[in-house]
């Protein structure tokens, strides 16, 4: 993938996430892997719905900008961490949907998703008859420390023989998802967001029902 092709895929994904309301204001960031361990990623401070090609920059896998005059997102290292840990990853998406934000605030250390048809969007889950624990990490402005915690959680799931979902939540903040290319990452994000929306709606329905009974 060339830099121009990567930028085009990032802009296309940005328009899609904006249309779905998952990247309000200047929230979110999107990246695509380039040859030789380089990463094309959205620059900090730009609205994804109006993103232009010049608002995409290139960093190395340690998050260092090739052009020091440009500033990547503060969370660039979380993208780089996914590329380093999961060979074959070609794109990473980060969004701030209402469902991801609210549920991550309510959850403990993980959020269990079970029985959803769209679990098949995740690798290694061929049917709906499955369950996954989506890690939920406490938010932190110390991004290297946050990435270390991400790695620790991945190691714990791997040691326990549990499926490792291609994504995680940051409490009160949003969701990270990755895939072998941009289309796959988008499909996984949309599948996860659908299930999160269902979980949120289920909880709201339960609260409404409980409130009605008490009345």
Going by pLDDT thresholds of 50, 70 and 90, the confidence category of residue 207 is low
Burial of 124 (0-12, 13-18, 19+ CB in 10 A): exposed
Q: Specify the 3-state DSSP secondary structure of 32.
A: strand
Domain extent at residue 162: 3-214
- Pick 65 or 206 by higher pLDDT: 65
pLDDT at residue number 88: 94
Q: How far apart are CA 41 and CA 210, in angstroms?
A: 45
Q: What is the pLDDT of residues 32-80, one digit of tens each?
A: 999 999 999 999 999 999 999 999 999 999 999 999 999 888 899 999 9
pLDDT at position 215, please? 32
Sign, CA torsion 110/115/120/123: positive
**In total, how many domains does the chain have?**
1
The domain that holds 197 is classified in CATH as 3.40.225.10
Of 140, 196, 145, nearest in space to 167 by CA: 196
Position of tokens 């994904």?
13
Measured CA to CA, the distance from residue 199 to residue 154 in angstroms comes to: 23
**Residues 187-196 as b or e (16 or more Cβ within 10 Å = b):** bbbbbbbebb
Write out pLDDT tens, residues 89-147.
999 999 999 999 999 999 999 999 998 988 888 887 776 777 889 999 999 989 999 99
| Spatial separation of the C-alpha atoms in residues 171 and 143, rounded to whole Å | 14
């Amino acid at each position: 993938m060339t830099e121009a092709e990567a930028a085009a895929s990032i802009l296309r994904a940005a328009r899609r996430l904006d249309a779905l309301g998952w990247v309000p204001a200047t929230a979110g960031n999107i990246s695509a892997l380039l040859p030789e361990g380089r990463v094309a990623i959205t620059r900090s401070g730009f609205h994804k719905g109006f993103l232009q090609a010049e608002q995409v920059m290139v960093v190395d896998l340690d998050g260092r900008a090739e052009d020091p005059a440009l500033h990547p997102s503060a969370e660039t290292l979380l993208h780089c961490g996914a590329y380093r840990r999961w060979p074959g990853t070609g794109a990473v998406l980060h969004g701030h949907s209402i469902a991801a934000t609210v549920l991550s605030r309510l959850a403990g250390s993980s959020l269990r998703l079970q029985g959803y048809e769209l679990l098949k969007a995740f690798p290694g889950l061929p049917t709906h008859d499955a369950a996954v624990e989506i890690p939920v990490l406490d938010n932190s402005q110390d991004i290297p420390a946050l990435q270390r915690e991400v790695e620790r959680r991945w190691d714990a799931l791997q040691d326990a023989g549990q499926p490792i979902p291609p994504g995680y939540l940051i409490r009160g903040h949003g969701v990270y998802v990755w895939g072998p290319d941009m289309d796959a990452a988008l499909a996984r994000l949309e599948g996860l967001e659908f299930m999160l929306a269902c979980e949120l709606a289920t909880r709201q329905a339960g609260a409404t029902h409980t409130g009605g009974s008490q009345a």
